[in-house]
Amino acid sequence: MNTDLLKDLCETPGVPGHEDRVRDLIKGQIEGLFDEVTVDPMGSLLCTRRAAKDGAPKIMLLCHMDEIGFLVSHVSDKGYLYLQPVGGFDPRNLFSRRVLVCTDQGDFKGVMNPSGKPIHISSPEDRKKIPEVGEFFVDLGMGEAAKDVVKVGDFVVMDEPFIEIGDKFVSKALDNRIACWLGVEVMKALGDRGRGAEIHVVFTCQEEVGLRGARTSSHRVQPDIGIGIDTTLACDTPGIPEQFSTTTQGRGFGLHVRDSSFIADRALVREIEDIAIAQDIPYQRTMLAAGGQDGAAAQQAASGARAVGIVVGTRYIHTVTEMVHKTDLQAALDILTAYLAAQD
């Protein structure tokens, strides 16, 4: 397993609309894997491998490059940064965080806390209150000088290293750098197989703010089949009733049949399921009541496509401790490779 690439992908900052560093990293990894590589006006990276014959079906894999983060909305006179979120944050996970502020003048480490008093001088009522995301601010430790280096619109990410513990990977950005990793690794694993289809691996932008890059890139590709690759929930942890688990870690990739953005193509679900069973690739069917992924945009592009999701169950999602099981990630790689290889 190419852990070094996953680590690099996870530790490269890139929030919606600011995916260029992730895109450059991917570009450096895909030499020789595609016939054509282009960047569209919004910033998605479109990679195409032509089929052996004209008129072959177009299969599109969608892997979003952005991670949830913030844009600086205001720098105060004293040099504190106020932020707007780009992506869904739960304020309960934002207390006392180390962050990286990415500016034209370089990246600066900072700390994020909510406005208010520390425990020593706060009342019992103060301590019960959960601030809104907009009440958090960043302190760069440089006082008023922050005004000279940070501009409105600069971006902020969590600053936490990628780690391996037990059978798991942990990072702030497994959503969705695992998909970027899969998009690269599947083409390496595929080799010269799967020439019966035209394969488009598209590293999309701005998913976390509403599948925006997937919409435009799908319109361009006009796929016959769209596969959204993403994380999903793994609520197999204490305090959550079993029926809300979505996935159980270690039981394989998630074959995603529904969420609030789409309903998967049933024949495609069965086809992938048959391959998984025949090749002993562990899997679990998954559904989400809320939330979407890029496969939905492919499904509804132009005159429509058949779509499905291949997902990896992720504990503690949208926190700095996002956690995936290596077995599940490997299973996702195996099924994508097997499915594309079957297009001979």
| Residues labelled as active-site residues | 207
Q: Which of these, 332, 310, 303, lies nearest to 224 by C-alpha position?
A: 303
- Distant-in-sequence, close-in-space partners of 36: CB < 8 Å, separation ≥ 6: 46, 47, 48, 50
| Smallest separation, CB 209 to Zn ion (Å) | 11
Point out the residue whose Cβ comes nearest to Zn ion: 176
Structure tokens at 234: 């793994």
Give dist(CA 164, CA 169) in Å, integer. 5
**Strand bridging mode 306-314 / 225-233:** parallel
* Ligand-binding site membership of 294 (annotated): no
Rank residues 231 and 343 by Cβ distance to Zn ion and give the closer one. Answer: 231
| Smallest separation, CB 174 to Zn ion (Å) | 9
* Ligand-binding site membership of 167 (annotated): no
* Contact criterion met (CB below 8 Å) for 274 and 289: no
* Ligand-binding site membership of 107 (annotated): no
| Smallest separation, CB 232 to Zn ion (Å) | 9
Rank residues 230 and 334 by Cβ distance to Zn ion and give the closer one. Answer: 230
DSSP codes, 198-220: EEEEEEES--TTTSHHHHHHHHH
One of 8, 19, 160, 175 touching Zn ion (CB under 5 A) = 175
* Ligand-binding site membership of 175 (annotated): yes
176 binds Zn ion (CB under 5 A): yes
Sort 123 into a burial class: Cβ within 10 Å, 0-12 / 13-18 / 19+: exposed
Rank residues 175 and 198 by Cβ distance to Zn ion and give the closer one. Answer: 175
Rank residues 176 and 204 by Cβ distance to Zn ion and give the closer one. Answer: 176
Q: By CB under 5 A, which span of 173-181, 183-191, 196-204, 253-261 interacts with Zn ion? A: 173-181
**Strand bridging mode 69-75 / 155-158:** antiparallel
| Smallest separation, CB 140 to Zn ion (Å) | 29
H or E stretch at 96 = none
Helices 3-11, 174-190: inter-axial angle, 10-degree rounding: 140
Q: By CB under 5 A, which span of 23-31, 169-177, 280-288, 299-307 interacts with Zn ion? A: 169-177
Site string for Zn ion, 197-236 (x = CB under 5 A): ---------------------------------x------
The footprint of Zn ion (CB under 5 A) covers: 175-176, 230
Binding-site sequence positions for Zn(2+): 64, 175, 208, 230, 318
